[in-house]
Amino acid sequence: MSAPNSALAAEQAFYAAFERGELDDMLAVWATGPDITCIHPMGPVLTGHAAIRASWAEILSVHVPRKIEIERIRVITTPTLVLHVVYESLSLPLHRQRFAPMAAINGYRPFEDGWRMVLHHASPVGGIEQETVGQADLNTTRH
């Protein structure tokens, strides 16, 4: 599978796969080198394709419908790297549960076949509380 033709298309494919819970589609966006990095909220630094695959496999193993809204805050562009600073708003519609937004930085590099993700770092945004509507008793990892 060829990579997306822009950093924006790579980001859209990443979040679409996350929302659908499609591990293979998500991993198709990632580069495969040993220096790729992922940091989930409050989690350790993960480097390399195997560690990143294992972490997303665990997160996406919880099969619940997800809705993810992205607000792009800033785009930093160089010839060899594009960084997107975003707010991620995740909700679980069936459980009427909405989580506090996360701030994330996503990094993309051009490769011969297109743009691939090389960095995803998400962390809580201070001062914003989680909102729960109704009763939801889930033992899930947001991300």
What are 48's two structure tokens?
């390399």
Phi-psi domain of 114 (left: phi exceeds 0; alpha: psi -120 through 50; beta: other): left
On average, the pLDDT of the chain sits at 87
Report in angstroms the alpha-carbon separations of 111 from 36, 62, 78, 116, 124. 13, 32, 14, 7, 31
**112 pLDDT above the threshold of 60:** yes
pLDDT of residue 1: 60
**130 pLDDT above the threshold of 70:** no
pLDDT digits (tens, 9 = 90+) for 4-31: 899 999 999 999 999 999 999 999 999 9
The model's pTM is 0.84
How far is 117 from 120, CA to CA, in rounded Å?
A: 8
Integer Rg of the chain from CA: 15
Statement: 7-129 belongs to CATH 3.10.450.50 = yes
